[in-house]
Amino acid sequence: MSYLKSLAPEGLVRLLEYKKRFASMGLPGSNCLKRSYRKAVDITNLNMLPAEIRNNLKCVVDVGANVGEWSTGVALLTKAPKIIAFEPVPHIFRELVTNTRDYPQIECINSALGSKPGQVDMFVERLHKLSSILPIRDELRPVHGIAEDKPQTVSVPLQTLDNALSREDEISLLKLDVQGYEPEVLAGGRAVLQRTRVLITEVVYVPYYQGDVQFGTLHNQITSLAPFKLYGISAPSCTADGQPMWADAIYIQN
């Protein structure tokens, strides 16, 4: 089989690999021909979840939704009836609303999340996925080609997970991607975490933002707040010379 793969065009090999991934999720293999589905499975990492959970999603929460690629990916790949997407930056939020308008199951909320309610300043970068309440470290700016850029500062509303999701009885899947602010979001969601089945959070292997924490510290916080167990870790994103920078960690509680 490996010999045959070496003879096949690279594009065909990749399509066959996607076909297997979709089949493992109980989805039509023909989805491999659709770019939107290939992008969805890459972004969401849903294929890493146990089938029993993935096939029975109820309320899904996307904290740090950005322009909605993860939320729309979940909508494409699952039958989750409710997806709540939080994005604090006003102009990015407007793009999120536009990108999710064909998905009635997605509710968009223009707010940041933290340990207490109020207002908070955000550093908005030209590469908007890097925007955060925490400033990015100077040594990381050249890695992303923004060494000469100066972020804009915008004041955004801040609430807690416990307040924002007080009406949700169970959170099937909670995703955190808040660029180093995860400890504050978790601190404001003690009650929500107790009724969350799966947590997917970005973790870093090197200091990235001023005041952030690395994987081990975040792991200790997560497992102290709720009976989560580390289930899996995605392949890391690496620098050009191969240094692992960040990945997505998946936690599950039964």
Tokens matching residue 46: 């849903």
Judge contact between 126 and 146, C-beta under 8 A. yes
pLDDT at 113: 98
Confidence at 136, pLDDT banded by 50, 70, 90: very high
Tokens matching residue 204: 């870093």
Using CB atoms within 10 Å of the CB of residue 101, give its burial: 0 to 12 exposed, 13 to 18 middle, 19+ buried.
exposed
Tokens matching residue 235: 């392949």
* DSSP string for residues in 78-91: S--SEEEEE--SHH
Give the Å distances, CA to CA, from 40 to 46, 77, 123, 238: 9, 7, 27, 21
Helices 35-44/10-24 angle, 10° precision: 60
Q: Residues 6 or more apart from 10 whose CB is under 8 A from it?
A: none
pLDDT at 10: 76
User: End-to-end alpha-carbon separation of the chain, Å?
Assistant: 38
The 10s digit of each residue's pLDDT in 19-52 is 998 899 999 989 988 999 999 999 999 999 999 9
Q: Domain 45-252 sits in which CATH superfamily? A: Vaccinia Virus protein VP39 (3.40.50.150)
Q: How far apart are CA 50 and CA 55, in angstroms?
A: 9
The 10s digit of each residue's pLDDT in 77-130 is 999 999 999 999 999 999 999 999 999 999 999 999 999 999 999 999 998 899
Give the Å distances, CA to CA, from 59 to 45, 103, 161, 234: 17, 14, 14, 23
Q: Is 0.75 topped by the overall pTM?
A: yes
Rounded to an integer, the average pLDDT of 136-165 is 93
Give the Å distances, CA to CA, from 51 to 25, 45, 160, 254: 7, 13, 30, 14
Query: In the predicted model, is pLDDT for residue 173 greater than 50?
Result: yes
Domain extents for the chain?
45-252
Query: In the predicted model, is pLDDT for residue 4 greater than 90?
Result: no
